[in-house]
């Protein structure tokens, strides 16, 4: 793909479109190390905005950041049986360091439960130390065979929350609370609607009691697991001896939770809002929210237009907006538009001689539509346009998801729905809860249970029988083909 | 060390004091992985404030953040001859991943010049792409034999700036600019005065043309290299083929710089300002700037005092200050004071019944001195006290450094100055510039050339002869025993 060629249309090859869109926006690049990506400044700037918003939400809910070692002794990973089974096949292992072979190999963290709970065991003495609410921003390594920029890479950036609680109810409350935080972030910041619910045993985190997830539907009708929270029960506390003295003087194991989102979210943002021109950034996460492009053909026009454009950019910046002024010489406006559109900038303000004369700017939305904004009310007008864009992106994504969600599916409908390259969407149906049906459905349709949906998302009336075996349903499930 | 025992006095054993102070403030903890530390929430909060301030300074000087892979192919490190010689002995090596032995081992980054300049080679085409100004916040691994919390650990957190320029002058300007940024950060934020200058060949970065450093003097009279910037010349550009087309149409290699500071700065903060009670945080980097402690003996007093304390804390928070209200029940004020002092909180506000009656709070500075502040002018009074504290910490550190700097030292004085455990300080003297004298001085005194000082720090008149060999001096050097 080059600028001249444009990018692959989504309808032609969604996967190629995704790569083209990411490349065109200069969000990331492949590196010489297999499966590892370079996050370029345009992509990292989105991540910084995501981090800022999430970090404030974590702190507002009482969490504090800390940092734990990158390396985990191999024996630590093995202390929790399910955990090692889940992660051992995909770890990178340091066997030599400082010119010598290590006595015990070190695993590069694929997640940090084991190394963090070893510290918790030292820090927690009594019920007064609980709850302990910690978050870590870190890099993670999982050796993946098939990688895609942001969506699945050998190394990625994430945050992992790790908490310890006195009892099951408090751990459960925390796991649900952070699921709500993730949902709020996805919807209010990313304009990416999600459904929430619990994972089945086969899809839960290795070592967890229960896993909850937010799941979004991408434009190719495949689901993206965008964040998970885990009630880890007392599994890790037992493995690492994390005990506390109760108020009554007894000794109990703590209850842990962990929860994480990663740079994968950037892939979700691209696949939720992008179009055949490239990515579209929701205003709240756009590194550049507004680009101001002055338009002139003569020096006289330039003398009138440029100061007006500079003034507009200055006023918007002063109001706290993220603004670029593109006054490059020797480049046609159309070429500039093309470049900023590819970067997903939500709002472009064009200022030509006629606009100056009318004391206005012409505002072009990245998602289509042009309208003048009077210079007298510039800041308020731009802010209103951005707010409206943020709202309409969420609304459009929600409508697309609903249009591609089917409730009360039968076995035949489920198979039909998931067949073919374009097939997919969210299929709601009754589920007996058996691992056998779950496996059979996956085998037949490549769809997996994304969640056992939370009440808000459940169908009414509830499905009575299992989509697959026809036995009485234990509840409802949402199936989709997933990233 | 436990809370009851207090901490080792500095005069008795500075090294033990340092560990005690770090532990008492709960800044960091040893981990189960040899040489790796856990940065606890109190320590990480200081790092976040440091990051915030530095990141703004980097962005204000035109740099953008990005992220490059943790792993570097072993062959990459070898592409620049001096670089591999310097770093190969201390790298950690991943030999196995995903259950298989790798075809080529991967080094865990000890610094990222090689992997970053491989990307620069793809991104840079023409002079229009220059300068390219990138920064990365990342974790780094160097296999160290003797480690100390923050000061020297196998894994540490840092930022590394990497830039590419069209010519030597622009690269040199950048290396000097960022040295100035580091100096400003050290002095204005950390209240840690530094001297600046160039490193000798034996102390420069492996692969650099020239290395500059900021050097601070700790309370035990040993120097701390607190930040370095490097003009890398065209060494890496040649090794990685980073070329650009000039305006005239020719093809040239770029000039690179790199520069970094790390979590080591937290160690510098502790050793610059700490006292026998524990650490002292300069207000601008204090996670908690003000703690409000209400004091009551009866319920009646409590009813008067607590709302006043809450109101004071609320007003200060509303003004943007970082404030904690310590209204814990069943804990004596003295015990609270002791806890917050150990955490280095610069200002404590005590509010008892008498203070409420007089519409004032009693402000106790962490560095000594108590004075009332009227509630009517609380925010301004507290802000003034914090500003004064910030200034006085810098001034006290500067006076201590000057009192422990000796200019125009003779050979005998240099030896005498550096002898014994308490010996040290900054020794300024003439230097012939020969590697032989440099090595002989190190052998005899354990002192190394910290910098060839920049003009502002040089002695007048300039020393005429080399401290060691008596030959004509090529310039002035500053010696010290260093961390």
Nearest to A99 among B89, B95, B99 (CB): B89
- For A140, name the nearest residue in chain B, comparing CA atoms only: B70
User: Given this model, what pLDDT does residue A369 score?
Assistant: 92
- Selected from 3.30.930.10, 3.10.450.50, 3.40.50.12780, 3.40.50.970, the CATH number assigned to the domain covering B14-273 reads 3.30.930.10
Query: How close is the nearest chain A Cα to the Cα of B401, in Å?
Result: 33
Q: Which residue, among A71, A120, A134, A329, would best test binding to B if mutated, counting the most B CBs under 10 Å from its CB? A: A71
| B289 in Cβ contact with B322 (< 8 Å) | yes
Q: How far is CA B112 from CA B73, B151, B160, in A?
A: 11, 20, 8
pLDDT score of B84 more than 60 = yes
d(CA A424, CA B449): 67
pLDDT tens track for A104-140: 999 999 999 999 999 999 999 999 999 999 999 999 9
pLDDT band for position B5 (cuts 50, 70, 90): low
Query: How close is the nearest chain B Cα to the Cα of A121, in Å?
Result: 12
Query: How close is the nearest chain B Cα to the Cα of A93, in Å?
Result: 5
A460 three-state secondary structure: coil
pLDDT score of B202 more than 50 = yes
The answer for residues whose C-beta is within 8 angstroms of residue A474's C-beta and 6 or more apart is: A431, A432, A433
Query: How close is the nearest chain A Cα to the Cα of B7, in Å?
Result: 19
Nearest to A96 among B45, B67, B95 (CB): B95
Asked if B118 and A32 come within 8 Å (Cβ–Cβ), the reply is yes
pLDDT tens track for B89-116: 999 999 999 999 999 999 999 999 999 9
Q: DSSP string spanning B200-230?
A: PGGGS-TT-SEEEEEEEE-TTS-EEEEEEEE
A232 three-state secondary structure: strand
On average, the pLDDT of chain A sits at 96
pLDDT score of A4 more than 70 = no
Query: How close is the nearest chain A Cα to the Cα of B405, in Å?
Result: 36
Nearest to A108 among B48, B94, B122 (CB): B94
| B472 in Cβ contact with B466 (< 8 Å) | yes
User: Given this model, what pLDDT does residue A5 score?
Assistant: 58
d(CA A362, CA A293): 10
Query: How close is the nearest chain B Cα to the Cα of A198, in Å?
Result: 29
| B440 in Cβ contact with B478 (< 8 Å) | no
Query: What is the pairing mode between strands B347-351 and B290-294?
Result: parallel
For residue A438, the number of C-alpha atoms closer than 13 Å in the C-beta half-sphere is 18
Share of chain A above pLDDT 70, in %: 99
d(CA A269, CA A394): 11
User: Given this model, what pLDDT does residue A235 score?
Assistant: 94
CA-nearest of A314, A326, A307, A288 to A379 is A314
User: Given this model, what pLDDT does residue A373 score?
Assistant: 98
Q: Which residue, among B66, B134, B153, B156, would best test binding to A if mutated, counting the most A CBs under 10 Å from its CB? A: B66
pLDDT score of A2 more than 80 = no
The answer for residues whose C-beta is within 8 angstroms of residue B329's C-beta and 6 or more apart is: none
User: Given this model, what pLDDT does residue A452 score?
Assistant: 98
User: Given this model, what pLDDT does residue B161 score?
Assistant: 98
Residues of A in contact with B92 (CB under 8 A): 71, 94, 96-98, 106
| CATH code 3.30.110.30 region(s) in chain A | 405-480
d(CA A415, CA B33): 50
Q: Which two tokens stand for residue A325?
A: 């002024």
CA-nearest of A269, A294, A267, A295 to A282 is A269
User: Given this model, what pLDDT does residue A3 score?
Assistant: 46
Residues of A in contact with B122 (CB under 8 A): 29
CATH of domain A283-388: 3.40.50.800
Share of chain A above pLDDT 90, in %: 94
Residues of A in contact with B98 (CB under 8 A): 89-92, 143, 145
A421 three-state secondary structure: coil
**Mean pLDDT confidence for A305-320:** 98
Residues of A in contact with B75 (CB under 8 A): none
User: Given this model, what pLDDT does residue B1 score?
Assistant: 41
B12 burial type by CB count under 10 A (0-12 exposed, 13-18 middle, 19+ buried): exposed
pLDDT band for position B80 (cuts 50, 70, 90): confident
A391 three-state secondary structure: helix
User: Given this model, what pLDDT does residue B83 score?
Assistant: 84
Asked if A141 and B70 come within 8 Å (Cβ–Cβ), the reply is yes
Asked if B97 and A68 come within 8 Å (Cβ–Cβ), the reply is no
Asked if A69 and B118 come within 8 Å (Cβ–Cβ), the reply is no
Asked if B44 and A64 come within 8 Å (Cβ–Cβ), the reply is yes
d(CA A290, CA A347): 5
CA-nearest of A473, A471, A477, A460 to A414 is A477
User: Given this model, what pLDDT does residue A318 score?
Assistant: 98
B298 burial type by CB count under 10 A (0-12 exposed, 13-18 middle, 19+ buried): exposed
| CATH code 3.40.50.800 region(s) in chain A | 283-388
- Of A33-42, A75-84, A448-457, least confident by mean pLDDT is A75-84
d(CA B165, CA B133): 9
User: Given this model, what pLDDT does residue A420 score?
Assistant: 79
| A261 in Cβ contact with A227 (< 8 Å) | yes
* A316: region left, alpha or beta (phi > 0 left; psi from -120 to 50 alpha): alpha
- Of A313-317, A431-435, A460-464, B1-5, least confident by mean pLDDT is B1-5
- For B132, name the nearest residue in chain A, comparing CA atoms only: A41
Query: How close is the nearest chain B Cα to the Cα of A140, in Å?
Result: 9
Nearest to B33 among A31, A45, A106 (CB): A106
Q: Which two tokens stand for residue B377?
A: 């002018």
| CATH code 3.30.930.10 region(s) in chain A | 14-273
d(CA A452, CA A471): 17
Q: Which residue, among B67, B84, B324, would best test binding to A if mutated, counting the most A CBs under 10 Å from its CB? A: B67
Asked if A68 and B155 come within 8 Å (Cβ–Cβ), the reply is no
pLDDT tens track for B218-268: 999 999 999 999 999 999 999 999 999 999 999 999 999 999 999 999 999
Q: Which residue, among A25, A55, A66, would best test binding to B if mutated, counting the most B CBs under 10 Å from its CB? A: A66
With residue A237 as reference, give the H or E element that holds it. Answer: helix A235-240
pLDDT tens track for B328-343: 998 999 999 999 999 9
CA-nearest of B147, B35, B144, B36 to B89 is B144
Asked if A99 and B122 come within 8 Å (Cβ–Cβ), the reply is no
- Of A29-38, A371-380, A416-425, B44-53, least confident by mean pLDDT is A416-425
pLDDT score of A314 more than 80 = yes
Q: What is the dihedral of CA B264, B267, B271, B275, to 10 degrees?
A: 160
d(CA A136, CA A115): 12
Reported in sequence order, the residue ranges of B116-209 that DSSP labels E, i.e. its strands, are 132-141, 155-165, 195-198
pLDDT score of B2 more than 70 = no
Q: Is the previous residue joined to A349 through a cis bond, with omega within 30 degrees of 0? A: no
CATH of domain B283-401: 3.40.50.800
Q: DSSP string spanning A123-183?
A: H--BGGG-SEEEEEEEEEE---SS-BTTTB-SEEEEEEEEEEESSHHHHHHHHHHHHHHHH
User: Given this model, what pLDDT does residue A145 score?
Assistant: 84
Residues of B in contact with A143 (CB under 8 A): 97-98
- Of A202-206, B27-31, B243-247, B357-361, least confident by mean pLDDT is A202-206
Q: Which residue, among A30, A36, A67, A100, would best test binding to B if mutated, counting the most B CBs under 10 Å from its CB? A: A67
| CATH class of segment(s) A405-480 | alpha beta
| A211 in Cβ contact with A230 (< 8 Å) | yes
Share of chain B above pLDDT 90, in %: 94
pLDDT score of A321 more than 70 = yes
Other Cβ atoms less than 10 A from the Cβ of A451: the count is: 27
The ipTM estimated for the assembled molecules is 0.96
Residues of B in contact with A73 (CB under 8 A): 32-33
**Mean pLDDT confidence for A165-183:** 98
Q: Enter the pTM of the model.
A: 0.97
- For B140, name the nearest residue in chain A, comparing CA atoms only: A70
| B401 in Cβ contact with B429 (< 8 Å) | no
């Amino acid at each position: 793909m080059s600028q001249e060629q444009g990018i692959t249309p989504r309808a032609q090859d969604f996967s190629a479109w995704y790569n083209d869109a990411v490349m065109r926006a200069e969000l990331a690049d492949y590196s010489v190390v297999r499966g590892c990506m370079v996050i370029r400044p345009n992509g990292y700037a989105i991540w910084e905005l995501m981090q800022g918003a999430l970090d404030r939400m974590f702190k507002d809910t009482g969490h504090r950041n800390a940092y734990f070692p990158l390396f985990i002794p191999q024996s630590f990973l093995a202390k929790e049986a399910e955990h090692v089974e889940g992660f051992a096949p995909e770890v990178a292992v340091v066997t030599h360091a400082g010119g010598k072979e290590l006595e015990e190999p070190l695993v590069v963290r694929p997640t940090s439960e084991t190394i963090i709970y070893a510290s918790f065991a030292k820090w927690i003495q009594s019920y007064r130390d609980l709850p302990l609410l910690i978050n870590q921003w870190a890099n993670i390594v999982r050796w993946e065979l098939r990688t895609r920029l942001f969506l699945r890479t050998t190394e990625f950036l994430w945050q992992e929350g790790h908490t310890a609680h006195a009892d099951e109810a408090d751990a459960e409350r925390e796991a649900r609370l952070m699921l709500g935080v993730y949902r709020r972030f996805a919807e209010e910041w990313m304009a990416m609607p999600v459904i929430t619910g619990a994972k089945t045993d086969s899809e839960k985190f290795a070592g967890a009691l229960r896993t909850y997830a937010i799941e979004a539907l991408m434009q190719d009708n495949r689901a993206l697991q965008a964040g998970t929270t885990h009630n880890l029960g007392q599994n890790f506390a037992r493995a690492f001896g994390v005990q506390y003295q109760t108020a009554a003087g007894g000794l109990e194991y703590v209850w842990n939770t962990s929860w994480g989102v990663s740079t994968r979210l950037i892939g979700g943002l691209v696949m939720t809002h992008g179009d055949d021109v490239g990515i579209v950034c929701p205003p709240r996460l756009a590194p550049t929210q507004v680009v101001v492009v002055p338009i002139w053909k003569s020096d006289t026009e330039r003398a009138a237009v440029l100061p007006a454009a500079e003034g507009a950019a200055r006023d918007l910046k002063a109001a706290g907006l993220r603004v670029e002024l593109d006054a490059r010489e020797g480049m046609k406006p159309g070429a500039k538009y093309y470049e900023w559109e590819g970067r997903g900038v939500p709002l472009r303000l064009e200022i030509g001689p006629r606009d100056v004369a009318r004391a206005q700017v012409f505002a072009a939305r990245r998602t289509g539509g042009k309208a003048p904004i009077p210079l007298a009310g510039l800041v308020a007008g731009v802010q209103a346009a951005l707010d409206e864009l943020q709202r309409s992106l969420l609304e459009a994504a929600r409508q697309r998801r609903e249009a591609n969600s089917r409730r009360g599916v039968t076995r035949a409908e489920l198979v039909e729905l998931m067949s073919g390259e374009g097939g997919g969407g969210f299929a709601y149906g009754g589920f007996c809860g058996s691992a056998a049906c779950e496996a059979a459905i996956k085998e037949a349709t490549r769809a997996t249970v994304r969640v056992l949906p939370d009440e808000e998302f459940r169908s009414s009336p509830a499905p009575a029988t299992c989509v697959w075996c026809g036995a009485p349903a234990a509840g409802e499930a949402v199936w989709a083909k997933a990233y």
